[in-house]
């Protein structure tokens, strides 16, 4: 494994003559490592000390950073906070393509992830045709993904979700799941996942009703049968289960029942207080652990944007995950957006938090993600300007932090009666946004795949620019009542602003939060007084 990882990564050292010696040695924890090196011109001699072979991939990330730096001598030791770190591709809607998944795995290695669960909801093989073995074409693709995972320190697997039609008491159904897991094992998977989420809560078959006292008992029995069968093949495997009740306080009756019934080594997933939790904290994790007799493996529904959330791009950094949560957790897997390219930016910040929560800074991590994923400076600047108009999500964050400053300056000026100065703030920002949109749509922007994903939001972006222009034009035509300290204007101005609001609100995509809606409607109200 180690030789494969180094060989696959060496392409990243273009222009350098790199000699790497990797040896097993004394490090902190199972995924700790030490890396050191000396650089003479373009020649680098380096050593990596590790305990687990896949960890060499993370050490190589640090070695590459050293190669690109001005340093000539380098020595570093590190280990992650969270044991399991990565992605569960578990959203509803169009799944990522095979080519995107191959690229994703390389990026996941860059992010210091170690796990990738493939579990898209709306594909036949996942939740509907689960009784059938994976076909040859599917296994060919999975074998390629698993192999790519081995080169990047990522354990890759496909999940099985039998809950829509399963008969828990039927051993044929048990063996159908085992058969799929055996196929994955033969292809190289060593981590397996059985998902019971988003299904009917009541037992559906008379045989199950007669045999089991509850759905929790039925799922525990079924899961343990699968676990025992796989454990007989390899005692070092891992298994993860997503329970039927996967959010809340962590002490719900279902969780209290299923936890003690499941084999102790099986990971149990949990999304936190809510399906898309605004925060994850230690106190809730402790409750979950006491109830289920195991720490939670978080299925973190960030930055996912499926279902009713498809009008949003959640591209800001991870926030509101408590420092030290790793001490009370088996790990965290992030559920990404439907948009592959745009998911990479928040996922990079997830990786930073999972590796070292104490030193994690959301803003710094996000800027680092932007720099690493968009190398071309003009393209990066243009994309930053766009992205910072849609930075909010369920985990918090100002949706449009830069635009907020424009409004602070503009509104302050108009409250002081400096209408021309205020108008200039909004018109100048409008012009800058229009120019930025033109650059993004041009051949000068070097990342067409990124533009393809953000293109549905470009209409909203330009409508935002037009709304700012409308505010600026209105202020130029208004007067300031110095006695009452308020703006005054004609009915025509009000109608022009209302027209801009109507047009802006007509877009089906979300950007800017309420940064534009609030001030423009306030201006209309003031002029109507």
What is the percent of the chain where pLDDT is above 90? Answer: 98
Q: What is the pLDDT of residue 263?
A: 97
Strands 43-50 and 33-40: antiparallel
Is the backbone peptide bond immediately before 303 cis, with ω within 30 degrees of 0? yes
Q: What is the pLDDT of residue 182?
A: 98
Please choose, from the candidates 454, 155, 396, 196, the residue with its C-alpha nearest in 3D space to the C-alpha of residue 278: 396
- Distance from C-alpha of 348 to C-alpha of 362, rounded to nearest angstrom: 10
- 529 pLDDT more than 90: no
State the average pLDDT over residues 220-238.
Answer: 98
Q: What is the pLDDT of residue 484?
A: 87
State the average pLDDT over residues 246-264.
Answer: 97
- CB of 113 within 8 A of CB of 87? yes
Q: In what order do the strands lie in the sheet with 33-40?
A: 17-24, 43-50, 33-40, 73-78
State the average pLDDT over residues 13-23.
Answer: 94
Q: What pLDDT digit, counting tens, does each position of 396-422 carry?
A: 999 999 999 999 999 999 999 999 999
Residue 464's Cα: distance from chain center in Å?
26
Contacts of 129 (CB under 8 A, 6+ apart): none
**Cα angle 273, 282, 86; round to 5:** 75
Q: What is the pLDDT of residue 483?
A: 87
State the average pLDDT over residues 446-469.
Answer: 97
Query: Model pTM?
Result: 0.96
Confidence band, pLDDT 50/70/90 cuts, at residue 519: very high
- 368 pLDDT more than 90: yes
- Distance from C-alpha of 185 to C-alpha of 191, rounded to nearest angstrom: 8
CA count, 13 A, side-chain hemisphere, 217: 9
C-alpha distances out from residue 314 to 14, 85, 436, 439, Å:
34, 20, 20, 22
Strands, E assignment, 237-309:
238-242, 267-270, 296-300
For residue 195, list its beta bridge partners.
242
State the average pLDDT over residues 437-461.
Answer: 97
Q: What pLDDT digit, counting tens, does each position of 268-281 carry?
A: 999 999 999 999 99
State the average pLDDT over residues 16-37.
Answer: 96
């Amino acid at each position: 494994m180690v030789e494969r990882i180094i060989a696959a990564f060496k392409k990243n050292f273009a222009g350098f003559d790199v000699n790497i010696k990797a040896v097993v040695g004394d490090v902190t924890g199972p995924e700790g490592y030490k890396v050191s090196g000396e650089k003479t011109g373009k020649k680098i001699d380096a050593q990596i000390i590790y305990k687990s072979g896949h960890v060499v991939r993370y050490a190589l990330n640090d070695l590459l950073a050293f190669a690109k730096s001005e340093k000539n001598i380098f020595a570093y030791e590190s280990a992650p906070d969270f044991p399991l770190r990565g992605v569960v591709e578990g959203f509803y809607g169009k799944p990522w393509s095979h080519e995107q998944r191959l690229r994703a795995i390389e990026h996941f290695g860059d992010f210091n992830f170690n796990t990738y669960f493939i579990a898209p909801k709306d594909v036949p093989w996942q939740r509907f045709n689960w009784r059938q073995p994976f076909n040859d074409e599917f296994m060919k693709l999975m074998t390629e993904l698993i192999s790519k995972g081995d080169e990047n320190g990522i354990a890759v697997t496909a999940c099985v979700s039998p809950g829509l039609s399963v008969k828990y008491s039927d051993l044929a159904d048990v063996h159908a799941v085992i058969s799929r897991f055996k196929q994955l094992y033969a292809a190289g998977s060593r981590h397996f996942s059985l998902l019971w989420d988003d299904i009917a809560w009541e037992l559906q078959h008379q045989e199950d009703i007669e045999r089991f006292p509850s759905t929790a008992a039925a799922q525990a029995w079924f899961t343990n049968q699968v676990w025992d069968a796989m454990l007989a093949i390899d005692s070092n495997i891992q298994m993860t289960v997503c329970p039927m009740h996967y959010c809340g306080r962590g002490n719900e009756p279902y969780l209290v029942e299923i936890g003690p019934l499941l084999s102790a080594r099986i990971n149990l997933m949990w999304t936190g207080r809510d399906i898309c939790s605004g925060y994850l904290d230690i106190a809730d994790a402790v409750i979950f652990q006491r109830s289920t007799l195991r720490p939670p493996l978080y299925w973190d529904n960030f930055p996912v944007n499926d279902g009713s959330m498809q009008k949003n791009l959640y591209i800001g950094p991870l926030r509101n995950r408590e420092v030290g949560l790793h001490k009370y957790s088996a790990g965290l897997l992030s559920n990404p957006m439907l948009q592959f390219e745009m998911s990479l930016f928040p996922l990079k910040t997830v990786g930073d938090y999972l590796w070292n929560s104490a030193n994690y800074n959301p803003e710094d991590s996000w800027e680092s993600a932007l720099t690493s994923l968009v190398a071309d400076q003009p393209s990066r600047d243009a994309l930053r300007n766009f992205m910072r108009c849609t930075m909010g999500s369920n985990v918090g964050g100002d949706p449009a932090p830069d635009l907020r400053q424009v409004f602070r300056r503009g509104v302050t000026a108009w409250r002081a009666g400096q209408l021309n100065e205020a108008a200039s703030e909004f018109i100048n920002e409008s012009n800058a946004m229009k120019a930025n949109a033109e650059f993004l749509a041009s051949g000068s922007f070097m990342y067409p795949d990124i533009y393809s994903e953000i293109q549905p939001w470009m209409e909203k972006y330009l409508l935002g620019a037009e709304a700012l222009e409308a505010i600026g034009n209105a202020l130029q035509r208004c007067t300031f009542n110095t006695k009452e300290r308020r703006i005054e204007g004609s009915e025509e101005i009000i109608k022009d602003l209302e027209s801009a609001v109507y047009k802006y609100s007509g877009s089906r995509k979300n950007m800017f939060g309420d940064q534009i809606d609030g001030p423009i409607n306030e201006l209309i109200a003031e002029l109507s007084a």
